[in-house]
Amino acid sequence: MSPAMAAIAENDDVFVDESQYQKGVKHLCENVISRVPSKYILPVQERPSRTVGIETATSNVNRQLTSLPLVDFAELRSLSDRPRALRLLAKACEQYGFFQLVNHGIPSNVISSMTDASSRFFEQPYEERAKYMSSDMTSPVRYGTSFNQSKDKVFCWRDFLKLTYHPMSQVLPHWPSSPADMREVAATYAQETKQLFLELMDAVLESLGLSQLPGDDSINIMEQFQEGSQLMVVNCYPQCPEPDLTLGMPPHSDYGFLTLLLQDQVQGLQILHREDWVTVKPIPGAFVVNVGDHLEIFSNGRYKSVLHRVLVNSARSRISVATLHSLPCECTIRPSSKLIDESNPRQYKDTDFASFLEYISSCEPKKKNFLESRKLST
């Protein structure tokens, strides 16, 4: 162990070399730490034992497990069962902003191969992972730590690998070549989740009452989704010696239309539901799907992009793979004209991916600040 790392293990307050934190949580943990360094310790009111909007700590509340609404994709594909499944989908998007998707049709070996390759990527020596470190948010591959390591005042207990998917022929040569099967496995997984997103988004539009008739918004937007943006984020949350002092990810919402999350069976994901943080109960083989900021804007506020965060634990590391889907980066997102009327006036400004990047590059991202910046004054 280096002298600097020995200082962390003995007394985190002695350590002041910010460059070590930039190397990631995995790097810190590989040097055996027994305390959470001060750079990762949240203010008391932001720690996981606190709930939003409530002054007293309610650790029993935020540890409770919740079963999200269950959407059966096989029913969405069934002519007779689709109407009922669409109603359940709409209710989940309105009331939770989240649901679990089962019977999605992606082969189990595709899923297991992706989680396995992801774990092996983070198990590599730091020098191999560091090849992909970049502060360029437009890079086709980017390895980093925390949420926004250039802006975060307090770091979160996470390392990530971000892979852009489109256009595949151009980005694939830049993806990690180690582990040896990483590119092939991730490309297959990306293709499968893209197709799933397209079918699911078609159902979401129908649940909003946007029938596919000539001139309707749904026709144009489904064509745009074919060439839409897709970002894959592989997250690693190492074991944490003092998990009540930090978070794997702070409260945030996702920028796109839908996020498809593959999580292992280690609990960690929490959503804000009725002003309480509740822990999502993992379902083997299921995807957790959540509404993003762009869908809230497009639905003119009918479907909700909900705050969520990630807990860490002292017993086991956790791996998750999130794919964020939206329109092409050059497209403008605005409320659907069919969802605006006198009783439900327009609630959001136009936006695009460039404005999102500009926003998160200029400030410390937290909560739903970007979405709030898109709201029209009432």
Domains identified in the chain and CATH numbers: 1-40 (no CATH), 43-373 (2.60.120.330)
Say whether pLDDT at 132 is over 70: yes
- Strand-pairing partners, residue 159, are 145, 236
Instruction: Grade residue 367 by pLDDT with cuts at 50, 70 and 90.
Output: low
Q: How far apart are CA 4 and CA 242, in angstroms?
A: 20
Q: What's the mean per-residue pLDDT of the chain?
A: 86
Q: How far apart are CA 163 and CA 190, in angstroms?
A: 10
176-187 burial, b at 16+ Cβ within 10 Å, e below that, comes to: beebeebbebbb
Segment holding 328, helix H or strand E: none
Q: What is the pTM of this model?
A: 0.88
Percent of the chain with pLDDT over 90: 64
Q: How far apart are CA 30 and CA 53, in angstroms?
A: 37
Supply φ then ψ for residue 247, to 5 degrees.
-135, 150
Q: How far apart are CA 199 and CA 233, in angstroms?
A: 21
Say whether pLDDT at 238 is over 80: yes
* Both structure tokens of 76: 């969405």
Supply φ then ψ for residue 292, to 5 degrees.
-100, 175
Closest CA to 261 of 239, 237, 232, 281: 232
Instruction: Grade residue 353 by pLDDT with cuts at 50, 70 and 90.
Output: confident
| pLDDT tens, residue by residue, 32-86 | 788 999 999 999 999 997 543 333 333 333 456 678 999 999 999 999 999 999 9
